[in-house]
Structure 1
Amino acid sequence: MFQVSPFDSKLYRQLLSDAATADRLGDAAQIRTMLRVEGELALAQAEAGLIPGDAAEAIAQAAASLTPEPTSLADGVASAGVPVPALVKALKAALPGEHARWVHYGATSQDIVDTALVLNIREILIDQQARLAAVIRALADLAEAHRNTLIAGRTRTQQAVPMSFGLKVAQWLAPLLNHVDRLEALRPRLLRLQLGGAVGTLAAMGGKAVDINERLAHRLDLVAGPCWHTQRDSLVELSGWLSLTTGTLGKMAQDWLWLAQSEVGEIRFSNGGGSSTMPQKCNPVDAEIIVAMARTSAAAVGQMHQTLMQEHERSGSAWTQEWFQLPQQLMASSVALNHAQSGLRFIEIHDQRMRANLDACNGVIYAEAATFELAHAMGRDKASELVTQCVREAMQGDRHLLQLIEDRTGEHIDVDQLARQLVAGGATGRWLTDILEQARLKTATP
């Protein structure tokens, strides 16, 4: 059914892949970026006086124009366990002998692979940050539009007390704001140059090593510093961020699925998939895919933590394991963000159904609010006892809770007034306003 995974399938591409992310994770992009690193390395070494300037220029030009087919490197990869030796051989073959000898001078294969990975991750994260900002803006707009819409708040799948639907949306939104901050904090630890040579000492570059490291980092707009061949904490931290982001979107999408159930019907998606024999169905495909991506990414985090355990100064096995997990998470995050944007474009809010569901059990959802309303006159304990009795009667009969309370106490509690207090008063209004203000600040165009 699949080539390697659904992410790679031509059949499932539009549903379970993202073209920009796939391009940057693909063979062609990896080769192109590794060649760029080789070219920039030569130029940095020439600037530092380690290799001849004319050789560096020739290497950089050849690296920019060389486009080897991935299959032409496959035998070399199978032999060396990494693509760089075969790629360096192809680059040297494109140069005259006096220049070819300076290709990849003093570097090691992992320097090139890891630096190329970081450069491609940077581009993927730029795309993902833009999509995340779009999701945040859409959620903020939805929350503002439904600030005063009443919905049943639910705990452990049961109706609990009424709440503002706008606040419910804001609670989907709030963790995403934290993820924006987390990504900004992560960037300097993640976007680092990898250049250490055989065991991280850059010994082959002698006294010019630090200068070359700094020059190459500047040319690639990365952070200079010691090599991190077996220090994979920044990539594992990225793995955690990807899982947090898809997991937060997954929680939102899980709510969508429950709210869109036929028996609940409080939201619906106008772009949902249908059925050839059940025309009444509108399957919430976007929500389903987001949940699947969240679970996929969460499963990869543990495997990424395994890659922290590396032997001595380089591990072939842990490094290879990383190649399986991190690209899957990067793709899952892009796919989840795409479906979140789509879902928010096509979501339909059925506020009348929300209100109907509030009264579905004769208004017992207002029990807490009624208790505190009556407590002003009769005290908390007495009010609680009276409301509990009325709740039992309401659940067993066909009369509304607030009418039963009025019959017993003569105290009229206006349900509409109570609803307005619940959606606009107290903490709800303040917290909703604060979250929306943060959303505007974090997604404002500089």
Structure 2
Amino acid sequence: ELEEYAMAELGLKPEPCSNQVIHRDRYARLATALALLASSVEKFAVQVRHLQRTEVYEAEEYFAKGQKGSSAMPHKRNPILTENITGLARMIRAYAIPAMENVALWHERDISHSSTERFWLPDAFITTDFMLHRMNSVIANLTVMPENMMKNLNLTGGLVFSQRVLLELPLQGVSREDAYRIVQRNAMKVWEEIQKGKPTTNEKGESLYLQYLLGDEELRASLSEEQIRECFNFDYYTKNVDAIFKRVFK
């Protein structure tokens, strides 16, 4: 009764079946939960690191005046915070191993688990907390470069819209096989032009792929100019953003 009373005060329930100690599968489940949480945080960190690469450069960690990115190369702006988070996530995942090893204790309980738990239990919690605070700071101070995002989207001369055209053609009665052939045929022409160094847009700002599609007689027999141009609308890909945010943060 005393146990139930004390646990209730803490909002907890007594272990239904224990021996000298609570079975260590409980702890292992906790360790794996922390490992998964750390991995999810790392997922964001890796994305920031990728976006900060010179050849991508769509976003980067905040870089303070006078901050050093490299002791040998003064020009560098390394993503040191997210690199740090990535390394810490590896440590927290590693702590799941001793937690699993502790499940099979001898008889009702030996003391082999004690030494590992003195390390991984406090360190896993403290490190996870540190990661969360650091990632929160990274996101809050993230520098985002939409101009570079648009530049990267235009690198392939509008080929990012090929799927839209592929999906639209069958709606107009074209077979999937023929639609794929038409869309791919023009896409390969664009790749060849890009390899030759041809500009990916004309003076009107029209992408190379759009130009080829508008000039394809077989395609134009099924799609009007308006329908083709609508396939190149970026807004199509963000139309559900508000709904997704509401679903996630409700």
Pair 277,310 (structure 1): closer, same or farther in 2 beyond 3 Å = closer
Q: Could you state the TM-score of these two structures normalised by the residue count of structure 1?
A: 0.46
1:375-394 equivalences in 2 (<5 Å): 375-377=170-172, 379=174, 380-394=176-190
| Structure with greater helix percent | 1
The aligned counterpart of 1:358 is 153
Matched residues, percent identical? Answer: 22
**Equivalent pair of 2:158/2:232 in contact (CA under 8 Å):** no
Aligned to 1:275: 70
Provide, for residues 254-298 of structure 1, a one-character-per-residue CA deviation record: whole Å limited to 9, x for no partner.
111111111001111223752355443222122112211221111
Asked if structure 2 preserves the Cα contact closer than 8 Å seen for 1:286 and 1:342, the reply is: no
Aligned-pair CA distance for 1:230:
5.0
Amino acid at match of 1:422: Y
Aligned partners of 1:230 and 1:308 also within 8 Å? no
Match of 1:436 among 237, 240, 246: 246
Measure the CA separation in 2 of the matches of 1:310 and 1:326.
Answer: 17
1:292 equivalent to 2:87? Answer: yes
| Partner residue of 2:3 out of 197, 207, 213 | 213
Matched, 1:309 2:119: no
Mapped to 1, the partners of 2:78 and 2:52 lie a distance apart of 9
Give structure 1 stretches of 5+ with no counterpart.
1-210, 442-446
Tell me, in whole angstroms, the C-alpha distance in 2 between the residues paired with 1:326 and 1:385: 58
Does the CA-based 8 Å contact 1:242-1:329 persist in structure 2?
yes
CA separation in 2, counterparts of 1:293 and 1:415?
Answer: 46
Give the match for residue 367 of structure 1: 162
Deviation track 1:124-159 (CA, whole Å, cap 9, x = no partner) reads: xxxxxxxxxxxxxxxxxxxxxxxxxxxxxxxxxxxx
Alpha-carbon deviation of 1:378?
5.4
Q: 1:235 aligns with which of 6, 11, 27?
A: 27
After TM superposition, give the deviation of residue 394 of structure 1 in Å. Answer: 0.5
User: For residues 283 and 309 of structure 1, what CA distance do their matches in structure 2 show?
Assistant: 44
Q: Which moved more, 1:374-383 or 1:214-223?
A: 214-223
Would you say 1:251 and 2:48 are equivalent positions? no
CA RMSD across the alignment: 2.5
C-alpha distance in 2 between matches for 1:233 and 1:435: 36
**3-state DSSP class of the match of 1:309?**
coil
Output the CA distance in 2 between the equivalents of 1:231 and 1:277.
52
CA contact (8 A) 1:289 1:339 kept: no
**Map of 1:423 onto structure 2:** 238
User: Separation in 2 of the partners of 1:217 and 1:376?
Assistant: 62
Q: Contact conserved, 2:187 with 2:209, CA < 8 A, in 1? A: yes
Count of residue pairs brought into register by the alignment: 225
Quick one: distance in 1 between partners of 2:173 and 2:9?
Answer: 75
Letter in 2 for 1:246: A
Partners of 1:224 and 1:360 in 2: CA distance:
61
Partner Cα distance (1:231, 1:266) in 2: 48
TM-score by length of 2: 0.79
Q: How far off is 1:217 after superposition?
A: 3.7
Shift of the alpha carbon at 1:221?
A: 5.8
1:216-260: CA deviation from partner (whole Å, max 9, x where unpaired): 445666534564505122221111111111110111111111111
Matched residues in 1 for 2:179 and 2:4: separation?
72
1:414 counterpart (229, 236, 249) = 229
Which of the pair has more CA radius of gyration? 1
The yes-or-no answer on 1:339 pairing with 2:134 is yes
Q: For the residues of structure 1 that align with 2:179 and 2:34, how far apart are their CA atoms?
A: 48
The amino acid of 1:324's aligned partner reads F
What amino acid is the match of 1:414?
Answer: R
Contact 2:161/2:231 (8 A) holds in 1: no
Q: CA deviation at 1:438?
A: 3.8
Aligned-partner Cα distance in 1 for 2:248–2:235: 25
Contact 1:371/1:387 (<8 A) preserved: yes
Structure 1 residue 262 corresponds to structure 2 residue 54? yes
Contact 2:52–2:58 (CA under 8 A) maintained in structure 1: yes
Shift of 1:389: 0.9
What SS is found at the alignment partner of 2:143?
A: strand
Amino acid aligned to 1:418:
N
